[in-house]
Amino acid sequence: MKVSLIVTMAGIYYRPVLSFAPTLLSSMTRQYGASTRLFADAVTEDVKSAAPPPAKKKVRTRRILSGVQPTGSLHLGNYLGAIKQWVEFQNTGEFASAENLDGEEFTEDENVEVINENFFCVVDLHAITVPQDPGELEESTLASAALYIAAGIDPKKSKVFVQSHVSAHAELAWLLNCATPMNWLERMIQFKDKAKKAGTESVGVGLFTYPVLMAADILLYQADRVPVGEDQRQHLELARDIVRRFNGEYCKGNPYKKRCKKAGVPSYPAFTEPEAMIVKAGGARVMSLTDGTNKMSKSDPADGSRINVLDPPKVIRNKVKRCKTDALPGIEWDNPERPEATNLLNIYAAVQPERTKEDILDEVKDMKWGDFKPVLAEAIVAHLEPIQKRYAEVRADEEYLRGVLKEGADAADEIAQKTLKSAKVAMGFSIPK
């Protein structure tokens, strides 16, 4: 089974696409015509005998696995940069354009029929790499799942689940931890940055090893392509290194083939080596309201730095009113000397997707900040209002929400357990009958 997977995690930012071994379909659709009814049958027979048979299409199942941490409240950056794009992919089958490490764009083969399978998870195992309040983690997890649905993720089209509800994620992460050299993790830039800020005495081992958990998330679903942002190149390269090391050490030779035969699993390597898809921003890159050069973040201690998806209208208006701007005249886009102006215009455009950049500039270019901020605030309020209303409905129906999460976890577990079994067989574990 060959798979093409997209993984995305906000905060950790994956973007996982899975595709299965192609099967063949045949198309028998033809159209025939004749100039008169008298000759219609004869012409049809001639066309039938002369026309070559239509080419058979391969079928590829593309599996999308994406997730956001449940820590704190989901903010506008999580929604516009990740969840909104998931919804668009779910409904259209098209993701943001992406290119490989050489700058070449990925394109779909017109002779391949693509069937999408969408999995969106709440990555609670990643959340606990920093301390969490046990009294809040469960509610944050359920609230995040409810927001996925409220934002447009349809459980009839996509599976929604909680990462820790599929035990294979944690179990495979441990197997890979034991196969990953420590110095590989010591090179990870994000760990160095976070450890420097917090101090190594207060940083848990989980923060050091979480890139291995990220690799497990990807490899469980046999991705051959993984769209990521620029900041995740290093983590994807680690996943590729882990695949090469694991397959090279455990998945070669006759002893491996004999173990596979005994366990009833295929004898090809346990993991597919993923290829990086550097995703071009399909949504707005939302920056902090207090510093246009830093991303909007749940970890920022200043709540005024972000707009939470569930903020009441009054709170949104106050945050926009107080957000940082500059003293220059007019409002313009993409001036590197005016990062706050670009950020606010990006937000304004993102919550009005039907409008063009030129249309927005014509409206706001001569405005003063005091005139623009109320207009921006009302646009944000109008965009979030239906999401907030739907969220209240979903979160109030606990039985429905938990049912959706169980169905999603069951579907994900069915896929993940197959990969986990192959990895265990490769390492020589005793497999229960």
* Whether 295 is catalytic: yes
Q: Compute the distance between CA of residue 290 and CA of residue 287 in angstroms, rounded to an integer.
A: 9
Q: What angle do CA 10, 345, 358 make, to 5 degrees?
A: 120
* Whether 252 is catalytic: no
- Sort residue 13 into left (φ over 0), alpha (ψ -120 to 50) or beta: left
Helix axis angle, 369-396 to 339-350, nearest 10°: 50
- Residue 242: closest CA among 272, 202, 266: 272
Q: Compute the distance between CA of residue 86 and CA of residue 412 in angstroms, rounded to an integer.
A: 17
Q: Which of 57, 58, 295, 418 is catalytic?
A: 295
Q: Which of 159, 298, 373, 424 is catalytic?
A: 298
Q: Compute the distance between CA of residue 303 and CA of residue 296 in angstroms, rounded to an integer.
A: 10
Could you tell me which residues come within 8 angstroms of residue 176 by beta carbon, excluding any fewer than 6 positions away?
Answer: 212, 215, 216, 219, 242, 246
Residue 271 DSSP one-character state: S
Q: Is the dihedral of CA 120, 121, 126, 127 positive or negative?
A: positive
Could you tell me which residues come within 8 angstroms of residue 431 by beta carbon, excluding any fewer than 6 positions away?
Answer: 263, 421, 424, 425
8 Å CB contact between 88 and 265? no
8 Å CB contact between 391 and 150? yes
Q: Which of 2, 58, 194, 418 is catalytic?
A: 194
Beta strands in 163-298 (DSSP E): 225-228, 275-279
If DSSP codes are grouped into helix, strand and coil, which group holds residue 114? strand
* Whether 194 is catalytic: yes
Active site residues: 194, 295, 298
